[in-house]
Structure 1
Amino acid sequence: MKMEMERQIGIPNRNPAVFVFLLLLVSCQLCSVVSWKKEEFRNCNQTPFCKRARGRKPSSSSFAAHDVSISDGDLTARLVPSDKTLEDQDQIQIKQLILTLSVYQDGILRLRIDEDPKLDPPKKRFEVPDVVMPEFLSKKLWLQRLSTETIGGDASPSSIVYLLDGYEAVLRHDPFEVYVRKKGGNRVVSMNSHGLFDFELLRVKKDGEDWEERFKGHTDTRPFGPQSISFDVSFYDADHVYGIPERATSFALKPTRGPGVEESEPYRLFNLDVFEYIHDSPFGLYGSIPLMISHGKSRGTSGFFWLNAAEMQIDVLGTGWDAESGISLPTSQSRIDTHWMSEAGIVDAFFFVGPGPKDVVRQYTSVTGTPAMPQLFAVAYHQCRWNYRDEEDVEQVDSKFDEHDIPYDVLWLDIEHTDGKRYFTWDRMLFPHPEEMQRKLAAKGRHLVTIVDPHIKRDDSYFLHKEATEKQYYVRDATGKDYDGWCWSGSSSYLDMLRPEIRSWWAEKFSFENYVGSTPSLYIWNDMNEPSVFNGPEVTMPRDALHVEGVEHRELHNAYGYYFHMATADGLVKRGDGRDRPFVLSRAVFAGSQRHGAVWTGDNSADWDHLRVSVPMVLTLGLTGISFSGADVGGFFGNPEPELLVRWYQLGAYYPFFRAHAHHDTKRREPWLFGEKNTERIREAIHTRYMLLPYFYTLFREANTTGVPVIRPLWMEFPSEEATFSNDEAFMIGSSLLVQGIYTEHARHASVYLPGKELWYDTKTGVAYKGGKTYKLDVNEESIPAFQRAGTIIPRKDRFRRSSTQMVNDPYTLVIALNSSQAAEGELYVDDGRSFGFQEGAYIHRRFVFSDGKLTSVNMAPAAPGQNQFSSECVIERIILQGLSTGQKSALIEPANQKAEIELGPLLLHSKKGPTAITIRKPNVRIADDWVIKLF
């Protein structure tokens, strides 16, 4: 035990007393991250900037806009305190800020507020790089003129600029406020309508000033003093607000302050390693995306995004919170008020006008990027555990999946596969032949994922540490030395991923020459990249640690994992000469993470509440751009009872990212270990995912082109139905499938709301239900309720193989659910499942339309250059029609002028029960061709 600890943390066994002390230290730190301990983390009252901002009253800090003009196509102004009690003009000069308003295509307003560089601040405030897309910047609309208007009872005018047809951006001069309104009418989103704006300027310490902050034995030096920013944001005609992940709580954000509200902590955005987190808490977890979206029946959807990587705290304010302020807003519109507080950075905020839910997501992802298109295998099922012990264990698990006829695509290895927690290495006792192990998996179309974390073991014999030290690539502590923290590898340092040259250097480490033992079928898992530091304040890096050009860690903390994720994904692209798409799973999340791979919801627990909360967590990530996400199926901590595990597989089969994972202290829980009946149920759930892979892959392409997530809240598809606004137990897969989870033990009934006016068809039985009603349905342990929306067509593959890669040439089934007009439509997207060729037009994209008794296949792909053509010989072997009101008995395929078999029977194969459906068998039309099938 002692030698193993020495080996893992790199302590020379020379001084027993020192060793015992360090052993106790490590043990203490490891214990501190074993489970949620509230006292390990700061609350708002222990966070000075949050406490100060929360203590401000409306209009307690008032600014006015001066010298408003158009410059370089932007509206610019100086913000000066308008507090009449300030007699010292020098103080007014010191507080001066520069405001810039920019307008972009598609109705996006950008607001930037920073210190005036002419006043010579002690350093430049941090602006988050490499998040805003270069293409977005090219969409700027150059303002040519400025109009003014005195609004309501204001004593001073407001400046108004064009934003989008029907929408205007307004800068109110005194008191300063920015808002978007419908032209000449109602507001949509406003900033600082309550006068809570405050901006603490960087300063040079004077004699006698004490800026240090202390928490649990840690001291933050704060060399430039308090530098926080806060302001209020209001969403008008909104019924609920959503977003600002990541936390385990309801999808619709609950008020944290106000009359009749039990005051709670603000929603915290500060990336942290939180083991065994609790559900139903506003506490921030591993990711931070400062995007909030509002939705209401009367107006629609709007959004607000603050590009800021420092710690952020956000209050959702209950109605009447400002009743005693004396403020009279110039509008009688209903609204939801929020209060945004950040420790550092600048104001770099974006207003999105919508007006629909998909419009806001599209507008946001035009700024930060649309989700990456994953490889096909990554969309299938993943099997993970901390840790599969050795090569023999890997081989046995792999063979058991085949023995039990359960498909899977990816096997994962956690930290124990390495040589003493040194990443890019293998424990050659346990994994002596990693290349051969990977080749055996690849022969079945399967892949391997290994973990690579950001903490670099401080061992002079470790090539990675030696090179990083020589190149001075590490983050430094406040004294200028390489920062030394503790994590799984013991004494560790962390690369300064803010620097592009270090990201490029890191990317090179994934080449097959540098990562010895890796092959083209190996992909990567970035864990602990918040960054996690066991002996750091709040289990992370000190805020006064230093990055390139003196940037303090406090300024970029929430983006650290994002840059690490980015560099790793780039490495996988480079190792294949830019041909193949990467797959990298990240735990830490920031705005733009969707461009680099998948994320998961972290260290959940094997209980029903965590199963339940996984849905709003994944929905929220999708709403904020992170479409490829999921929760650990079965729960990371604890031992799920068989019923819970089965229910989790049944739900997880519909997560965009579908992976089972477990802590090394849990009992083994591979699908065949819970009895034959439960194995059968889990197999059926996994088969459901593989059957729907064509539909999921098509949705991932939609997300890649539009930003619209794969799984969606019901109100994204039914935006005017109030019954959907707070429903986060059910969700949509694309626009065609509705899934209702089962979240209680021994459930025999489920309450399911089916929105809309059309029918919904049970995917298992074919029974049709009319929309707009709540149904109490009988359920059993075999499946969870899932329904296909009338008017849709879903592509499937019904033959089961060992892996998705072995299904590539299999034929398709189209499931058509007709609406009241006897019509339906759907899409199918296919490419090589691996390369970037789709970016050059090498793909098949078909739209299927059923109308007037005929099914038509229409090409949606633009013509591609000859060398980039993608072809497929795959055919459609079965077409299932539900809801057909007439009795057609024959089918004619054109232009081939051939007849196809048609029969009337149950929806389910091998079943004699249930509603009947028309099945066209073996039409054998190619998915790549234009064709029409007529029923008569």
Structure 2
Amino acid sequence: MKALSLLLIAALGVSGAFAVDRNNFKTCEQSGFCKRLRAFKPEKSQYTLNVDSVFVHGNVFSAEVVTVDLEKKNILWRYALRLSALADGTFRVEMDEADPLYPRYRTQIALEDEPKGDGLKLISQENGKLTLANTQGHKVIITTEPLKIEFVDHTGEVAVVLNENSQLVVEPLRVKTEKIGEDDEQGNAVEEPEGTWGENFKGHHDSKSRGNEGVSLDVAFPGANHVYGIPEHTDNFYLKTTTSGEPYRLYNLDVFEYELDSPMAIYGAVPVLYSHSAKRSSGVFWHNSAETWVDIVNYSEGNVVSSLVNFVTGGQKQRVDARFISESGIVDIFVLLGEKPADVFRQYTTLTGVAPIPPKFSLAYHQSRWNYNDEADVRAVDDGFDQHDIPADTLWLDIEYTDKKKYFTWDVERFRHPTEMVANLTAKGRKLVVIIDPHIKREAGYFVHEDCTEKGYYVKNKDGNDYEGWCWPGSSSYPDFFNPEVTKYYVERYRYENFPGTSKDVHIWNDMNEPSVFNGPEITMPKDCRHWKPPQDGQDGLAAYWEHRHVHNEYGQWYIRATQQGMLARSDGKYRPFILTRSTFAGTQRYAAVWTGDNAAEWGFLQASVPMCISLATAGISFCGSDVGGFFKNPDAELMTRWYQAGAYQAFFRAHSHIETKRREPWLFDATTLARIRDAVRRRYALLDFWYTLFYEHMIDGLPVTRPLFQEFPKEEATFTIDNQYLLGDKLLIRPVLEQGVTSVKLYLPAKETSTLWYDVDSYQVVTANGWINLDVTITKIPVYQRGGTVVPRKERVRRASALMANDPYTLVVALDANNTARGTVYIDDGETYEYRSNKYIYGSFDYQPTAFTYKFINEDANYPTRSWVERIVIAGIKNAPKSAKLVQGGKQTPLQMTLHRGNDVLVVRKPAASMASPWEIQFTY
């Protein structure tokens, strides 16, 4: 099967050397709408607001917008503009044709719910400007001719401007004329742009039966230092000026060994953009699922464009402009007025949702490979972790476990006893993850193919027949999850009786869901394929279906949504599923974790994984990681060590590799490297309850788990461009060693002005924040610091799987701030069910003051019968040690033993034996 797979890749022109072939993927010049609209730079916008049409009701402002032929003075097209004031300082601007030839596509799956409205009033109308205000002190100033919309924050300063650069475009839908130059329905002579009714790329023809339907809008961020977001790309977290090269591209694609430092599209497309300066943060969410290109101009970068602007304006201009260009859809943009980074990040997750708290095992270590060969191989790998004393929670099976690449089946020779195989794992507290991809093998007798063919469940080609492409199984078709009947069918496939061998401890990996089509244009589905659309009276022909061009970036999300529903249904909603996806879009966090795709065993890919996951986290997708060790090629011992050390502090922690790489289970390295890998994995397990608490808090407050430094220190300009270190919550600072052969690294310790203290997590040595420092490093560890003023829960009794640690005792690390205080939280539940929704959990707070250390329940109505207890409290940075301490819990008082380590000012409270099942207090006397 390996030979067949690699032969198939070669036959289809996908590089067998596993290096990206840029010729397989379009540039802006080769993408008709990008080339056409990027060049559109008028001196004055052609769009004008009709003042007589203005209407304000509730939280909505509506008006007609028109374009006018300046020579003939007649109206060319009419548009409907709608501006909504939403809760939490957010606005939404929508603009569609007033009477389109047929409905234009509106993205369906990104938003979690219908956004909540706020009040909106028209407070003035004069001098060609309309001023509106919401209830939170924000204003919107609309200039009527030419149309421009300014958003003013509560301080009275303009934060975001739409159409200041006159690049708003909504290309109207038109009937195809018989020949060039024929008049359209309004009697205007039509000069068709190149490619209006069809485009070619590398032997593929896109029929474009609807013609051009692109949309464009420019967005200005006055006063901004930088902008961030629009993942997924491989360059810095902060976005660079693109005017002298390619724009950033958002188009979900299967890119083998993708390029580094590139704006090229890869697997994900999340069209959210944030701006930041020391004064304020703001953002926009471009609600569109079609192929999109984004241009950036940062006027402080010193590029040619900004230099010209600065010359004209007479000085350095602090501002960033962006421009969104999409192939289809409507103008639909959310404006996030922030004020701080945490505010805009939360505003975005208010719209698109948060990640539900994952099953606890999924935050532990995962071991994968393409492919573990058979049941004996799985057993050997499982036993290997025990023999070498390395904890592991999950083993993974790639495509070769199936019966000839047919999903929901098992290979009848190599995996003959899946139920027993799974039981052997679960007896040790471990889980299994198997891959299920969207391509369905076109083979007579394969039940999924037979059902989808008979019921008409496949995506159709431009002629209305089942679309056929090529992927791992060979000839394949793709279920159309826009049809609710297809989703229902897929949900049923996950039931235990329909997928024998699975149980609640078997979870799912959705790969290739961009969708990947080896012989398709740009290795994906043709844009003129047809998707299901709800039938409506009077709609036929082009109005009866959506084309793939409209929905491409959300296809993978419909797929993982069906997977999630299926996994919930199989246990009647009792157990939390774990799903991993490669394709990402706005709102993916509601369904699945994400990894950064097919990377390589090179230092550059390790380096890229950090800003990639930071960017995804700020776009709502905190559950992110990279293939530890690199998917392609073979890492040496140093790279493997550093990748494990980095991966231990990324949310998703999985080792995975290509079928042609050397086996690289940890014990296959030399003894010294094995010991270092073991140490990295054990460090992860000691912090599992900390990770679990962070994900619970993300679920309730919407903030990233992995955070850029400027989120917590928004006024420190040095942090604005740091993306090789980050924070976990507001408590741990991580600086992975990402460079080969180094003996020191540069580390930035923020908050000098407030004398913030940072403690090395191993030695408890304290450093006062002082900006950049050079820090010596060894191969045995990476810089990790706990912020002064925090409490971090740990479990030091690391076992072979996280489930076996559920009732183990805690070590509480208290890192004191300059005022000798600290606070923290912990979350405890059963780790796998939804019982927490019935208040069966503990969300506890820790509060250390010099006189007492208190543990309380934040929600006093919730409780969980944990048997965990506190075996040690480490208080770092203590200057004045108490003489005695006693535990007060449940009406009892118990004297405690303490040990003071004066070399690093650490006080250890030994075996307080405080139960975590009820509140307690440790009282100190001096």
C-alpha separation in 1, matches of 2:248 and 2:786: 36
How far is the alpha carbon of 1:887 from its aligned partner? 2.5
Correspondence 1:141 to 2:118: yes
| 8 Å CA contact retained: 2:298, 2:319 | no
Residue aligned with 1:141, SS:
coil
Shift of residue 163, structure 1, vs aligned partner: 2.7
* 1:698 has 2:697 as partner: no
Instruction: Give the deviation of 1:873 after TM superposition.
Output: 2.1
Which residue is equivalent to 1:461? 445
Q: Aligned letter for 2:770? A: G
Do residues 159 (structure 1) and 130 (structure 2) align? yes
Which of 282, 288, 309 is the aligned partner of 2:289? 309
Deviates more, 1:185-194 or 1:76-85: 76-85
1 CA distance for matches of 2:178 and 2:45? 27
Partner in structure 2 of residue 264 of structure 1: 245
**Residue of structure 1 in register with 2:814 after alignment:** 816
Structure 2, unmatched stretches of 5+, are 181-195, 534-544
Specify the code of the residue in structure 1 equivalent to 2:258. Answer: Y
Tell me the equivalent position of 2:34.
50
What secondary structure sits across from 2:680 in the alignment? helix
Render the CA deviation track for 1:547-598: whole Å, top value 9, x for unaligned. Answer: 0131000000000001101110111111010011110100000001000020
Match of 2:529 in 1: 545
Partner Cα separation in structure 2 for residue 376 and residue 183 of structure 1 = 41
For residue 179 of structure 1, give the secondary structure of its aligned residue in structure 2: strand
Q: Aligned pair 1:127/2:127, yes or no?
A: no
Matches within 5 A, 1:301-340: 301-319=281-299, 321=305, 334-340=318-324
Task: Tell me if the contact between 1:238 and 1:336 (Cα under 8 Å) persists in the aligned partners.
Answer: yes
- Distance 1:595-1:691 versus aligned 2 partners, 3 A rule: same
Cross-structure match for 2:83:
101
How many angstroms apart in 2 are the aligned matches of 1:163 and 1:608?
49
SS in structure 1 of the partner of residue 693 of structure 2: helix
1:230 to 216, 234, 240: 216
1:334 Cα shift? 3.4
User: What number of residue pairs does the alignment pair up?
Assistant: 887
Give the conservation status (yes or no) of the 8 Å contact 1:109–1:169: no
Q: Who is 1:377 aligned against? A: 361
Q: Within 1, Cα distance between the matches of 2:684 and 2:476? A: 40
- Tell me the CA shift for residue 530 of structure 1: 0.1
| SS across alignment from 1:648 | helix
Q: State yes or no: 1:889 paired with 2:871.
A: no
Judged with a 3 Å threshold, the aligned counterparts in structure 2 of structure 1 residues 856 and 324 are, in CA distance, closer, same or farther, namely closer
Q: Does 1:791 align with 2:773?
A: no
Structure 1: which 5+ residue stretches go unaligned? 10-22, 151-155, 258-262, 907-913
Matched, 1:924 2:901: no
Aligned partner of residue 425 in structure 1, secondary structure: coil
Report if aligned partners of 2:515, 2:525 keep a CA contact under 8 Å in 1: yes
- Preserved contact between residue 109 and residue 554 of structure 2 (Cα < 8 Å): no
Asked if the contact 2:109–2:557 (Cα under 8 Å) also holds between the matched residues in 1, the reply is no
Helix, strand or coil at the partner of 1:193: coil
The superposition leaves residues 900-924 of structure 1 with CA deviations (integer Å, 9 ceiling, x where unpaired) of 1111238xxxxxxx62411111111
Evaluate the alpha carbon distance shift between residue 327 and residue 199 of structure 1 in structure 2; reply closer, same or farther with a 3 A threshold: farther
Distance 1:104 1:24, change over 3 A: closer
**How many Å apart are 1:931 and its aligned residue?**
1.4
2:917 partner SS: coil
1:33/1:534 contact within 8 Å kept:
no
How does the TM-score come out when normalised to structure 1? 0.92
How large is the Cα RMSD of the aligned pairs? 2.1
Task: Output the CA distance in 1 between the equivalents of 2:379 and 2:745.
Answer: 40
Q: Structure 1's 765 and 72: CA in aligned 2 closer, same or farther, altered over 3 A?
A: closer
Q: CA deviation digits over 1:191-249, x for unaligned, max 9?
A: 11111111111111110256110000000010011100111101122111000000111
The alignment status of 1:880 with 2:869, answered yes or no, reads no
Q: Distance in 1 between matches of 2:386 and 2:136?
A: 58
Give the SS at the match of 1:672. helix
- Candidates 786, 798, 801, aligned match of 1:800: 798
Matched, 1:596 2:567: no
Q: Which residue of 2 aligns with 1:242?
A: 228
TM-score, with structure 2 as normaliser: 0.93
Q: Paired residue for 2:617, among 616, 622, 636? A: 622
Partner of 1:279: 260
* Superposition deviation, residue 183 in structure 1: 4.8
Q: Which residue, 667, 672, 679 being the options, matches 2:667?
A: 672
Find the counterpart in structure 2 of residue 902 from structure 1: 898
Mapped partners of 2:154, 2:58: distance in 1: 24
What pairs up with 1:602-613 in 2 under 5 angstroms?
602-613=597-608
User: Distance in 1 between the 2:12 and 2:619 partners?
Assistant: 37
Shift of residue 32, structure 1, vs aligned partner: 7.0
Matched, 1:80 2:66: yes
Paired residues of 2:396 and 2:433 also in contact (CA < 8 A): yes
Q: Which residue of 2 aligns with 1:295?
A: 276
| Residues in 2 aligned to 1:542 and 1:826: alpha-carbon distance in whole angstroms | 51
Q: 2:514, 2:461 → 1: CA distance?
A: 17
The 3 A distance-change label for structure 1 pair 34 and 322 is closer
In structure 1, how many angstroms separate the alpha carbons of the residues matched to 2:43 and 2:349?
Answer: 34
Q: 1:740 aligns with which of 735, 743, 749?
A: 735
From the superposition, tell whether residues 328 and 577 of structure 1 become closer, same or farther in structure 2 (CA, over 3 Å). Answer: farther
Q: Does structure 2 conserve the Cα–Cα contact (< 8 Å) formed by 1:109 and 1:163?
A: no
Q: 1:278, CA displacement in angstroms?
A: 1.4
Measure how far apart 1:705 and its partner are.
Answer: 1.2
Deviations 1:479-536 (A, max 9, x none): 1100000000100000111122211221111000111221221000000000000000
Which residue does the alignment assign to 2:922? 933
Q: How far apart are the structure 2 equivalents of 1:753 and 1:702?
A: 26
Q: 1:116 to 1:575 in 2, by over 3 A?
A: same
Report what 2:749 is aligned to.
754
Match of 1:915 in 2: 904
- Residue in 1 aligned with 2:501? 517
User: Contact 1:108–1:163 (CA<8 Å) still a contact in 2?
Assistant: no
Amino acid at match of 1:228: G
Q: Per the alignment, in what secondary structure is the counterpart of residue 690 of structure 1?
A: helix
Opposite residue 542 of structure 1, the aligned amino acid is P
Q: Which residue of 2 aligns with 1:728?
A: 723
Q: Match for 1:440: what amino acid?
A: N
Q: Is the 8 A contact 1:69 1:146 kept in 2?
A: no
Question: What are the Cα deviations for residues 34-92 of structure 1, in whole angstroms up to 9, with x where unaligned?
Answer: 430011100000111111122122435421111121146410011112552343x2xx2
Contact 1:148–1:157 (Cα < 8 Å) also in 2: no
Which amino acid letter does the alignment assign opposite residue 669 of structure 1? R
Deviation at 1:147, TM superposition (A): 2.2
CA distance in 1, matches of 2:739, 2:10: 39
Moved more, 410-419 or 311-320: 311-320
| CA positional deviation for 1:309 | 0.3
Q: 2:218 & 2:81 partners in 1: Cα distance?
A: 17
Cα pair distance change 1:716/1:247, threshold 3 Å: same
In 1, the alpha carbon distance for the partners of 2:869 and 2:154 equals 52
Distance in 1 of aligned mates of 2:848 and 2:317: 44
Contact 2:360-2:831 at 8 Å conserved across structures: yes
Partner of 1:909: none
What pairs up with 1:850-889 in 2 under 5 angstroms? 850-864=848-862, 869-889=863-883
Q: Distance in 2 between matches of 1:325 and 1:857?
A: 57
User: Residues 229 and 879 from structure 1, CA distance in 2 versus in 1: closer, same or farther, beyond 3 angstroms?
Assistant: same
Offset at residue 870 of structure 1 (A): 2.5
Q: CA–CA distance in 1 between the matches of 2:690 and 2:139?
A: 39
Task: Kindly state the Cα deviation for residue 758 of structure 1 after the two structures are TM-superposed.
Answer: 1.3
In structure 2, what is the Cα distance between the partners aligned to 1:311 and 1:327? Answer: 35
The corresponding residue for 1:911 is none
Higher mean displacement: 748-757 or 183-192: 183-192
SS at the partner of 2:827?
A: strand
Asked if 1 retains the 8 angstrom alpha-carbon contact of 2:879 and 2:905, the reply is no
Q: Tell me the distance in 2 between the aligned counterparts of 1:165 and 1:86.
A: 44
